[in-house]
Amino acid sequence: MNIYYCINRLEQKRYSTYNHIYSLVNEFSDRFGIRDKKYDKTLGENEQFSINFISYNITPIMLEAEFQPIHIKTHRNFVPFSLKKLLHNSLRLPLVSPYTQNKIMHYFDFPIYKSIRKSFSVLELSSITNISLPEFFHKKSDPFLFTRNADGADRIIVHSDFMKQELVSRLFIAEDRITVISKGIKDGFFNIAKDAETIQKSREDHQIPDKFIMFAGKISRYKNLDRLIRVFAKSAPRQYSLVIAGSFDTRHESYRHAHSYMKYLMNLAGQAAPGRIKFTGYVRHDIMPAVMYNATALIEPSFHNNFPDSIAEAQAVGIPVIASDIDAHRSVCTNSVLYFSCLSEKSMAEAIEAVINDSKTRSTLIDKGKRKAAAYSWELTAPSYGELYNSFS
């Protein structure tokens, strides 16, 4: 069975999507005995599956160094993109593609191009934040268009039970069309303690302080970082710093609004706790475990989340996690983190103080976190994709 991983050109600069796809292909290939034979559109095959890549909106992809072994086959379609969008989104006409006959087309986010040829389509959603919290974004999403695009998929993959319930309750998508497959965590997060040289180098490169608590993720209004900065400045001991690792979110926001919010946070940090709050900017995924390693704790204060990657990765590294008490975190983390109210500065301050001052609380959270993170290893996650693909045959 041929599997085509289809990357929307609008997603090409999203490193989190690249990391997930790259890990998925490598881990899935390892589990099913697929080996790279040649670096063209077919990456490898075995008796069950062959793996292929398509960039399906005319323009080719620029890849980082770790992606260079994988050649992306550009899908050059002679229909102009504006006309293609009109035909598909407005008139709902199917599109003919040379890649789609008797294949599984695995799309990451939108849009889905349904073919008149016999094929199966899988849509994997990494985020539904702009549907769940539209009030936080200047770019408004159309739930009707979202639902209509999702209707083109034979099966929808989400990464948590919370995401599934949101799609069912808000967009009325049938439960039996949605499959929950957790994101996998790279082995580097579980094994970073053995790599002292990388840990030291990453601390020097990013100027990481000795004692710090950490936030890791996209910087956006729904992440509640302004409240975190105020609470940290008031309640954290003076010898501790706050490290905010991540770049601002331009997926749901315009560059102007995203950059404006970033400037607001940096000004707030300079006024509330001068010299104690460090913005690292974007941190490469392969370096993130080394940056996390010496943190006293990771904090995730968001109003909303999809699958909390940073929490699972921090637990794999072996650091305690404190997180906002929201359904998205409860569905994935259960009792492995220390919860606080995302609307209460007092509750957040108490959680920070507990994890800094109480060694028993820290060790309990570390033990629970490691057990929870083990459930999200690629060894357990990759076969779930194989089962889904086999279900079409």
Distance CA(300)–CA(215), nearest Å, equals 6
Residue 388 has a CB neighbour count (10 Å cut-off) of 16
Under 8 Å between Cβ of 162 and 327: yes
Distance CA(68)–CA(72), nearest Å, equals 9
344 Cβ contact partners less than 8 Å away, ≥ 6 residues apart: none
Interior angle at CA 288, CA 185 and CA 352, nearest 5: 95
Distance CA(80)–CA(5), nearest Å, equals 22
Task: Give all strands of the β-sheet with 212-216 in edge-to-edge order.
Answer: 277-281, 241-245, 212-216, 297-300, 321-324, 338-340
Task: Please tell me the pTM assigned to this model.
Answer: 0.79
**Cis omega (within 30 of 0) on the bond before 111?**
yes
Number of C-alpha atoms within 13 angstroms, CB side, residue 220? 23
In a structure prediction context, what are the per-residue pLDDT tens digits for the chain, which is 393 residues long? 677 776 655 444 455 666 676 677 666 666 555 544 333 334 444 444 555 554 443 222 322 222 222 333 333 344 444 554 554 455 444 444 444 455 777 887 765 655 545 678 888 888 888 778 777 666 555 566 677 677 778 899 999 999 999 999 988 889 999 999 988 888 888 888 778 888 888 888 888 898 999 999 989 889 999 999 999 999 999 999 999 998 887 666 667 778 888 999 999 999 999 999 999 988 888 889 999 999 999 999 999 998 998 999 999 999 999 999 999 999 999 999 999 999 999 999 999 999 999 999 999 999 999 999 998 888 888 888 888 888 886
Q: Which CATH class is domain 187-374?
A: alpha beta
Residue 371 has a CB neighbour count (10 Å cut-off) of 11
Distance CA(103)–CA(120), nearest Å, equals 6
Residue 265's identity, in one-letter code, is L
Dihedral of the CA atoms 312, 313, 315, 316 (nearest 10)?
120
Tokens of 15: 């490193």
What's the pLDDT at 13? 46
Dihedral of the CA atoms 255, 260, 263, 264 (nearest 10)?
-150
Domains 2-184+378-392 and 187-374 in one fold: yes
The residues spanned by each domain of the chain are: 2-184+378-392, 187-374
Under 8 Å between Cβ of 111 and 8: yes
User: Which of these CATH numbers, 1.10.1200.10, 3.40.50.2000, 1.25.40.10, 3.40.50.300, describes 2-184+378-392?
Assistant: 3.40.50.2000
H or E stretch covering 236: none
**What are the C-alpha distances in Å from 388 to residues 272, 306, 313, 375, 383?**
50, 21, 25, 19, 9
SS3 of the chain: helix, strand, coil, percent, to 5:
45, 15, 35
Number of C-alpha atoms within 13 angstroms, CB side, residue 155? 17
117 Cβ contact partners less than 8 Å away, ≥ 6 residues apart: 96, 97, 100, 101, 102
What's the pLDDT at 26? 67
